[in-house]
Structure formats: structure tokens, C-alpha cells
């Protein structure tokens, strides 16, 4: 039986709940920016948002581009605030779960993310009692790695940096496309249905019933 030593988590949709529609409403109501519909979806962002996540567009340039098509006089801070509406929060049990898992497994984060949302995400982990620097050995972020899931090179780089045999790792993501890309690149992966019991899934994947948490909902 294989022994998993490292768990690699996606961020949005797996650990942090997302609200795409609220984010769209925020861009439209706060900034009058209607182009948001063209670039945002639950897993794979497009246009300038995708460029921001891939690290090819600086945050300052992203804000400037959005403001050019926004209500005159809109401030850069409003762009950040509107973007943060995509981040709902971390369910309390998930924060507790991460702390529990970190005592027994090496935890990593692998996320298509951007320099505007990441600081807000970090605060959410702190509020959940699971600070990023306390529970994760390393965070692999798309805008820092200059690559996006499901890029083969992104996954291979993560596997090499972790340095364990592939069979001792598992990646958890809420996108089937990302899961398939990860498996093709040699990183075993499992699909997580957003809103479902993450602890139950991990108990099954890890073969570790102690991971299952009671009173999740």
C-alpha cells in the first residue's frame, strides 16, 4: 500500500470558498467595469486577469487597464476591493483540518493566483487559525512561477521542488481539467467537489480515518 507523505492543495474552491458572481457584481457596481464577464470563471481566468495570474502583467498595469474602462475618478484601491469579492472565506473546519494534517504530513499550496488576491487570501488563513507560514512547507503560486495550471511544466517543477517520489504525493483540486493535467505530468491528483466534506475525501485518499472530522457542517 502506498504511503502518502505530502499533500498539495489548490487554494480557491478547495480551501477558500469562492463567489464568482459577487466578484462580477462588485466590478460592475463599484467601478462600472463590464468587461469582467469576459475574463473570470471558477478555475481558469482569461484576458488580463489570466495575464496577472501568470505573472506576465504587473498588478499596477492590471489596475490601470481596468480603470481606463471604469467610472471616471475610480481609484486603484477599488480595483483591489472588487477583486477581493471573489474570496468568501475558509470554513472553520478546514482551518482546523490543516493544522491537524500539518502535524503528520508535509503540506503544500499550488494555486493559480495573483498578487492582488494573495495578501487577502493570506489574511483569511490567519483568521481561520492556519497561517500560511505555519501549515504549509511551501506555496507554489502561478504569478511567481510564471506558469498556470494545467501547465505540464508547472506541475513538473512542483514535483521536482518537493523532491519526493510521485507516489508519495497527492494533489487536491476542484477542476477536473487541472486534475487530469496533474496526473499527466506525473503528480497523482484527486478531484474535490466544492462544498463537500474535504476531511472525508482526505480520509479516503490517505487511508487515514483519523483525518475525518466530525461536525463539519
Per-domain boundaries in the chain:
6-17+89-211, 20-84
Give residues with Cβ within 8 angstroms of 176, minimum separation 6. Answer: 191
Classify 20-84 by CATH class: mainly alpha
> Is the domain covering 6-17+89-211 a CATH 3.40.50.1000 domain?
yes
pLDDT at 10 over 70: yes
Cell triple for residue 60? 499596477
Distance CA 37, CA 206 (A): 38
CA-to-CA dists, residue 204 to 76, 128, 197, 208, 211, angstroms: 45, 24, 11, 7, 9
Identify the pLDDT of residue 38. Answer: 86
Summary mean pLDDT of the chain: 94
Digit-coded pLDDT (tens) for 59-112 = 999 999 999 999 999 999 999 999 999 999 999 999 999 999 999 999 999 999
Distance CA 146, CA 64 (A): 21
> Strand, coil or helix: what is 110?
strand
Topology agreement, domain 6-17+89-211 and domain 20-84: no
Cell triple for residue 211? 483525518
Digit-coded pLDDT (tens) for 18-28 = 999 999 999 99
Give the pTM. 0.94
Amino acid at each position: 500500500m502506498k504511503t502518502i507523505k505530502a499533500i498539495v492543495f489548490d487554494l480557491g474552491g478547495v480551501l477558500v470558498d469562492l463567489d464568482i458572481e459577487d466578484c462580477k457584481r462588485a466590478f460592475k457596481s463599484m467601478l462600472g467595469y463590464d468587461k469582467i464577464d469576459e475574463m473570470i470563471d471558477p478555475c481558469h481566468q482569461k484576458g488580463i486577469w489570466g495575464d496577472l495570474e501568470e505573472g506576465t502583467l504587473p498588478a499596477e498595469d492590471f489596475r490601470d487597464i481596468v480603470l481606463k474602462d471604469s467610472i471616471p475618478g475610480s481609484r486603484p484601491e477599488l480595483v483591489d476591493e472588487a477583486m477581493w469579492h471573489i474570496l468568501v472565506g475558509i470554513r472553520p473546519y478546514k482551518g482546523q483540518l490543516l493544522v491537524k494534517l500539518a502535524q503528520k504530513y508535509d503540506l503544500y499550496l499550488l494555486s493559480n493566483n495573483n498578487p492582488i488576491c494573495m495578501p487577502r487570501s493570506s489574511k483569511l488563513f490567519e483568521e481561520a487559525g492556519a497561517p500560511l507560514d505555519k501549515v504549509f512547507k511551501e506555496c507554489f503560486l502561478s504569478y511567481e512561477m510564471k506558469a498556470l495550471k494545467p501547465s505540464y511544466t508547472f506541475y513538473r517543477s512542483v514535483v521536482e521542488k518537493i523532491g519526493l517520489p510521485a507516489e508519495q504525493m497527492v494533489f487536491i483540486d476542484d477542476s477536473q481539467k487541472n486534475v487530469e493535467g496533474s496526473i499527466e505530468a506525473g503528480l497523482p491528483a484527486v478531484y474535490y467537489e466544492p462544498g463537500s466534506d474535504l476531511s472525508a475525501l482526505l480520509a479516503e485518499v490517505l487511508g487515514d480515518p483519523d483525518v475525518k472530522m466530525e461536525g463539519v457542517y
